[in-house]
Amino acid sequence: MSRCGAGPRGGHTGGGFPSRPTRGRKWAAGVRMAHPPRTHPGGRPSSHPGGQSDGRHDGQPASHPGGHPGGHPGGDGLLPDGGRRLQLLAWETTQACTLACPHCRADACPSRPAGELTTDEGRRLLAEAARVGPGIIILSGGEPLLRDDLEDLAVAGTAAGHTVVVATNDGLLLTRERIASLQRAGVRRYSFSVHFPDEEGQDEFTARPGTMRATREAFARLREAGVGFQINTTVMRGNAERLEEIRRLVVDLGAAAWHLFFVVPTGRASTPPRSAPLTDAEIEKVLRWAAGIEASAGLPMKVTCAPQYARIKAEMGLKNTQRGRGCMAGDGFAFVSSMGEVKPCGYFDLSVGNVRQTPFDVIYREAPVFRDLRQPDRLEGGCGACAFRKVCGGCRARSLAVSGHYLGDDPHCTYPASQQKK
Ligand code: SF4
Ligand code: SF4
């Protein structure tokens, strides 16, 4: 059932932060006292918001949400506990969207629900994020272009030292005027979702005729303005056999990068009609294909939310081109929902605090869940015993979604759980 407009979303909270008025040492004390048990404290909601993550820091927006430009400008890149400073923040600026994709983790709806973060709250979030960054801010949704204050937010993000990118859906709302005003506000790049190589497939998937045409027209406007864009494709049943076709299209369209995403069973994707996830063996096959063509793909290519890609590349004798682990949820990457709930990533159905009660930088530094995710040695089950846990780490959101425990097995990995630690 959709929770659109039904008030604060984001799952239950796992943080226990005190409220915003008091700051300083009391925050940390409150956090320590609230440290949750290792096992997921139960009761996931049936739907959730979400962002997306990318986990790497390469200069492009990630999925709709997501992505990230540039080199990291934040000091030595480490927090006092050894975790990474914020490199990438996906902020779901609104749950509203003009499309109705079946795999939507945001469970998006046609109009903006009451209670989304205001312009001032957004400005404050961006300033707080700079204290643990700055990084790349993905203004995401839903469809972020439905917010008429997007320019104000981009200005605030840029002034705070961040690199601001926008994750739009099909670009229909990205008029020449909007491109120009967002460019003046500091937006550096856009990401789009294209899941099929043809109009028929794409339009049927998004449930709106003309989606693919709108996207192509938006690309033309961006090329005209000299603004870069990235294309994201979610791999699922129905397009897994067409990835080479999509790759050729993405190159022909002049995209700056192509990111492959894999379905996480949250939001509308928890009961997918058309975006049925692949089997573990099929995912492994796609990842091996991607690893084989990545170096000669014709543009920068990334695999997102299939952290075992690092393990597969190692097994194939290929160089690991990513920084850090395959998943950076909570360790360089964070997500903020339209209602202010903070999570390690948009697919991770557990809020660790709300920026309305606690400054974002305090949550990012201190949330017990984030601290757990920064320590691969806290992993359990097959991932905890795996020789690749430090370069892969498994998908924590899938572990949580399937077992209710965020430090357990990645349910989609085919690697034997009995591997010895190195
Ligand atoms: S936890 Fe899973 S879905 Fe979230 S960023 Fe990591 S790999 Fe992606
Ligand atoms: S067992 Fe876990 S850590 Fe090892 S490769 Fe698979 S997902 Fe990655």
> Which ligand is nearest to the Cα of residue 415, counting in written order?
2
The helix (run of H) or strand (run of E) holding residue 222 is helix 211-225
Determine whether the shortest distance from the Cβ of 309 to ligand 2 is under 6 A.
no
pLDDT tens digit sequence for 49-106 = 233 333 333 333 444 433 333 333 334 567 887 889 999 999 999 998 877 676 666 5
Q: In this predicted model, what pLDDT tens digit does every residue of 350-388 receive, in sequence order?
A: 999 999 999 999 999 999 999 999 999 999 999 999 999
Task: Give the pLDDT of residue 141.
Answer: 86
Residue 341: the pLDDT is: 98
Dist. CA 99–CA 207, nearest whole Å: 7
Please name the residue whose Cα sits nearest to atom 5 of ligand 2: 308
- Chain-centroid distance of CA 228 in Å reads 19
Whether residue 401 has its Cβ less than 6 Å from ligand 1: no
Q: From the CA of 377, which ligand is nearest?
A: 2
Of 83, 56, 58, nearest in space to 71 by CA: 58
Q: Digits of tens for pLDDT over the chain (422 positions)?
A: 344 644 433 334 444 454 554 333 222 222 222 222 222 222 222 222 233 333 333 333 444 433 333 333 334 567 887 889 999 999 999 998 877 676 666 566 777 889 999 999 999 999 999 999 999 999 998 899 999 999 999 999 999 999 999 999 888 999 999 999 999 999 999 999 999 999 999 998 888 899 999 999 999 999 999 999 999 999 988 899 999 999 999 999 999 999 999 887 766 555 555 556 788 899 999 999 999 999 999 999 999 999 999 999 999 999 887 766 789 999 999 999 999 999 999 999 999 999 999 999 999 999 999 999 999 999 999 999 999 998 899 999 999 988 999 999 998 888 865 454 44
CB atoms within 10 A of CB 422: 8
Pocket flag, ligand 1, residue 397 (CB < 6 Å): yes
d(CA 186, CA 189): 9
Q: Which of 262, 283, 303, 311 to mutate to test the pocket of ligand 2 (most atoms within 8 A of CB)?
A: 311
pLDDT at 58: 38
pTM attached to this predicted model: 0.82
∠ Cα 107 411 376 (to 5°): 100
CA–centroid distance, residue 150 to ligand 1 (Å): 26
Contact 55 CB / ligand 1 (< 6 Å) = yes
Please state, in angstroms and rounded to a whole number, the distance separating the CA atoms of residues 412 and 282.
10
For the chain, the maximum distance between any two Cα atoms, rounded to a whole number of angstroms, is 57
153-175 confidence digits (pLDDT tens): 999 999 999 999 999 988 899 99
Ligand nearest to the CA of 51: 1
Q: Is 326 in the pocket of ligand 2 (CB under 6 A)?
A: no
pLDDT score, position 31: 23
Nearest to 63 by CA among 335, 245, 299: 335
Confidence (pLDDT) at 307: 93
β-bridge pairing 353-354 and 163-167: unpaired
* Per-residue pLDDT, 98: 79
